Structure 1
């Protein structure tokens, strides 16, 4: 279907692929043997996505969140993709804004800066002032981008259909991955989703377990003005965190301030990951702002991840296993995370993890790159054909971005010292819950209930044993072949006894045969025994089990 349609966009994609020298796709598009897919080198893949346009740049950014699918080299290269594109003329943007507003533009805003502060492949952002004087940011969808994305989504699915015919495509379920990416692209077109994510994140961070909630800011959403194509939110005045000038911060010690901000970043993201289960999945430096009043703001909440309580507990244990350099435990936890039941060699997986972790045996915990180890864990899982949930990619990418920002912002950061008290508290929370007294009382009630019920249960068990009413229902697997073998052996033994009995009966009758009738009976028995014996010998020989 993909090759039979000759729309200009498809020809353009083929030309870009062939021009950049992707040999595998060249064979696939020309009908050659392409059973073993090979990705182009990371730099070539990045060039292909850039040449294909803004939508594919966005696809590359989504791919950069999947270290469970791609190696670290690809993740690093795709993470540098920027979707900065020329802005749409203000006249076109103004028309779209007027279409989205319920009231006239002049009655809603006092001023709107026609020059965007940022322009991306999906939207561009303008600064404006509401009629009541509040400063807001207008995120406006690029006119016509929905039609472009719909067209490109169809092409992505067509390519996935081609790759799905190969062993590689079936192993990694390429069609499901393509469907996941297309849904993510479609979600980018609905700004009400991003608004909802922003509100939920702000509510979650308003309850700080390890930090002061007053130190973190998430923009307020103006729902009365927000639509699917227009997002209106609070304007936050600041600069990217790596550009912050802490030397002029009211005479505060810049080193202490930098350390405090680094700790705050770790604490707010650890709460999102391991307590809330709902996290900002794109904490790159441009989305972490240092405000003029000294607070930190999280921007662009369109990409989020979710972790259920069971996954949170497994990942917490995984951090401890990494600290202990315990390859066996890493292997067990990886299998618990896996979303498929395909057979996996546990011993091979443990050996792979032990070999990987052995590199860190003589490395100080303060020098260990935790995100790099998590990437390597995902790589080993991929090599062992273990399919992990897609949220593991977002989780690993979030930790990698967070660690990268922290080390760049504060090179003196001691990562282990930052996370050690948080991990300790997480384990205490898993053991005792948020309310230790309540957990203790619940445990005491369970013990009391067990102590009251146990004597009665033991009494019932003894009664059933003594009255011979106790039945055991056992189900043993793998005994079907053994049962068939025993049945065949028993049948042959019975058959042999029958043949022997016929022969003995015929012999007895023949020795005492005084009439012609008895002689005939004896001969019939001998003949029947001979035929049955011959058939038994032939069946044994044909079964190949004479010895």
Structure 2
């Protein structure tokens, strides 16, 4: 399939791979016999993705969310990828907007600035004003980008088919990973999906458990003019967080106090997303965190979102506590609970790996711990032990890493433990008693009542089976088939040896007392039979390679 589709684009990709010196892929694509798959160095991989164009830059950004698949050096390099591309001419963008609107453009917008405020690989953003005077941001899909994405998706799947034939591809399930990436790329083309994500995040953050929800802003979506290729949302007037001049917005507070307020606000807003809502903004890099003129903080670009189910939230909360305690054994147990891999894992080895990893943090104070780095290393240890974790673990780690990184750049005095400790206390209390303590208590009482009513009957049934000798145990032990076959073979050979020995002894007894020609003949037959069987037994033992 790969060799017959989109030939010009394929040739271009091969030229890029050759030019950047990825020898393994060159041999694979030219029909040679490749060695075991080897990725190029992180810098070379980044250059390849940049040379291949915006779609592959987006793919690299998605790969940077998978520390369970790539080492820390690759994650760090790919995280620096930016999909900044030259903007499309206004004449072409205007055509796209007019095709998406139900009414004429002039009847919908009072003004549109033809100069984009931002341009990316999938879309570019323009500032505009609706007819009713509301200022909005228009996110417009680049013309023809859907065709390019579909072509490149076919190529990505073709390469995945080739790599999947190798042991490496089968071990890491390359085809399923490629499918996951291509679905994410396809989702980028549907702006109604991003709009729905934005609306859900806006609803979730309108109720703050640990923060004032009025201080966190998510743009409102104007659904009447939003389509799969055009998203119209509230214009938020501000600057990127790291570019903010706090002297102009301190409202009587010192810049240091304002920085601490914003840092605490961000941590609490994201911890609510991660550990309570289970729906979180997965790309909080500096460009997506805005400081508004009125002192509020805005979250932009909800194209990459993550989800965590309640069970995963509980495990990750306990994982944070295990990290604080530097408890390698508990980290290993929680990792196995997160795993969706069917492969057997040597628990002792996993615990030892975690212990070696955490040992270097023993002499550091809690304020010196870099939690996002530790979580990345935990995922790396799991990867080295061939433990496959859900893909949302990569988004979770990347979100924490970006959040902590921005917080440290914005406020060098930040102390991660001081920020999250009161939140962890509340989270554990929530896990113990739930949101409604009375309801949780009543549910527990009902469970105890049910247990108290059923237990006597179960005990009576157990005792009855014990006394009547009808109690049966059904045990299923894996890995015993080979041992059973070996035991059967050994028993068969022993029986065979006894038979051969018996024949020899019988022949000897008959030969010593032979008085007739018939008895002598029978003795010779028994000797011959025993000799043949003995020879066959020796040959079978030698062929099995288990003489010693």
Please give the TM-score of this superposition, normalised by the length of structure 1.
0.89
Paired residue secondary structure (1:360): coil
Question: 2 CA distance for matches of 1:486 and 1:322?
Answer: 51
| Paired position in structure 1 for 2:345 | 344
Paired residue secondary structure (1:57): helix
The correspondence of residues 478-489 of structure 1 with structure 2, limited to 5 A, is 478=480, 480-481=484-485, 484=488, 488=492
| Paired position in structure 2 for 1:516 | none
Once the 2 structures are TM-superposed, how far is the Cα of residue 40 of structure 1 from its aligned partner?
Answer: 2.4
Once the 2 structures are TM-superposed, how far is the Cα of residue 532 of structure 1 from its aligned partner?
Answer: 7.6
Once the 2 structures are TM-superposed, how far is the Cα of residue 520 of structure 1 from its aligned partner?
Answer: 11
The answer as to whether partners of 1:502 and 1:525 remain within 8 angstroms in 2 is no
Paired residue secondary structure (2:125): strand
| Paired position in structure 2 for 1:38 | 38
Question: 2 CA distance for matches of 1:393 and 1:255?
Answer: 33
Q: What do residues 104-150 of structure 1 show as CA deviations (whole Å, max 9, x unaligned)?
A: 11111111111111111111111111122111111011111111111
| Paired position in structure 2 for 1:306 | 307
Q: What do residues 262-307 of structure 1 show as CA deviations (whole Å, max 9, x unaligned)?
A: 1111111111112221111100011111112221111100101112
| Paired position in structure 2 for 1:197 | 197
The correspondence of residues 270-281 of structure 1 with structure 2, limited to 5 A, is 270-281=271-282
| Paired position in structure 1 for 2:394 | 393
Unaligned runs of 5+ in 2: none
Distance 1:210 1:542, change over 3 A: same
Which sits farther off after the overlay, 181-190 or 376-385?
Answer: 376-385
Q: What do residues 428-451 of structure 1 show as CA deviations (whole Å, max 9, x unaligned)?
A: 222222222222222222222222
| Paired position in structure 2 for 1:65 | 65
Question: 2 CA distance for matches of 1:14 and 1:470?
Answer: 68
| Paired position in structure 2 for 1:144 | 144
| Paired position in structure 1 for 2:227 | 227
Which sits farther off after the overlay, 444-453 or 469-478?
Answer: 469-478
Question: 2 CA distance for matches of 1:162 and 1:476?
Answer: 37
Question: 2 CA distance for matches of 1:474 and 1:171?
Answer: 31
Which sits farther off after the overlay, 403-412 or 258-267?
Answer: 258-267
RMSD: 3.0
Distance 1:474 1:253, change over 3 A: same
Question: 2 CA distance for matches of 1:497 and 1:67?
Answer: 65
Paired residue secondary structure (2:284): coil
Which sits farther off after the overlay, 317-326 or 336-345?
Answer: 336-345
| Paired position in structure 1 for 2:447 | 446
Paired residue secondary structure (2:143): coil
Once the 2 structures are TM-superposed, how far is the Cα of residue 367 of structure 1 from its aligned partner?
Answer: 0.6
Distance 1:486 1:453, change over 3 A: farther
Question: 1 CA distance for matches of 2:391 and 2:531?
Answer: 65
The answer as to whether partners of 1:35 and 1:166 remain within 8 angstroms in 2 is no
Once the 2 structures are TM-superposed, how far is the Cα of residue 8 of structure 1 from its aligned partner?
Answer: 2.9
Q: Does 1:79 find its partner at 2:79?
A: yes
Paired residue secondary structure (2:442): helix
Paired residue secondary structure (1:110): strand
Once the 2 structures are TM-superposed, how far is the Cα of residue 494 of structure 1 from its aligned partner?
Answer: 9.7
| Paired position in structure 2 for 1:421 | 422
The answer as to whether partners of 2:507 and 2:524 remain within 8 angstroms in 1 is no
Question: 1 CA distance for matches of 2:344 and 2:460?
Answer: 43
The answer as to whether partners of 2:129 and 2:135 remain within 8 angstroms in 1 is yes
| Paired position in structure 1 for 2:119 | 119
Question: 1 CA distance for matches of 2:353 and 2:443?
Answer: 42
| Paired position in structure 2 for 1:360 | 361
Question: 1 CA distance for matches of 2:89 and 2:177?
Answer: 35
Distance 1:171 1:539, change over 3 A: same
| Paired position in structure 1 for 2:15 | 15
The answer as to whether partners of 2:434 and 2:440 remain within 8 angstroms in 1 is yes
Distance 1:88 1:483, change over 3 A: same
Distance 1:76 1:460, change over 3 A: closer
Once the 2 structures are TM-superposed, how far is the Cα of residue 363 of structure 1 from its aligned partner?
Answer: 0.8
| Paired position in structure 1 for 2:54 | 54
| Paired position in structure 1 for 2:270 | 269
Which sits farther off after the overlay, 208-217 or 245-254?
Answer: 245-254
| Paired position in structure 2 for 1:374 | 375
| Paired position in structure 1 for 2:153 | 153
The answer as to whether partners of 1:540 and 1:546 remain within 8 angstroms in 2 is no
Q: What do residues 84-104 of structure 1 show as CA deviations (whole Å, max 9, x unaligned)?
A: 222112121111111111111
Asked which structure has the greater CA Rg, the reply is 1
Q: Does 1:28 find its partner at 2:32?
A: no
Once the 2 structures are TM-superposed, how far is the Cα of residue 360 of structure 1 from its aligned partner?
Answer: 0.7
Q: What do residues 140-168 of structure 1 show as CA deviations (whole Å, max 9, x unaligned)?
A: 11111111111222222222233333332
| Paired position in structure 1 for 2:242 | 242
| Paired position in structure 1 for 2:459 | 458
Once the 2 structures are TM-superposed, how far is the Cα of residue 523 of structure 1 from its aligned partner?
Answer: 8.9
Q: Does 1:214 find its partner at 2:218?
A: no
Paired residue secondary structure (1:227): coil
Paired residue secondary structure (1:361): coil
Question: 2 CA distance for matches of 1:92 and 1:153?
Answer: 24
Once the 2 structures are TM-superposed, how far is the Cα of residue 503 of structure 1 from its aligned partner?
Answer: 9.3
Paired residue secondary structure (1:224): helix
Once the 2 structures are TM-superposed, how far is the Cα of residue 403 of structure 1 from its aligned partner?
Answer: 0.4
Unaligned runs of 5+ in 1: 514-518
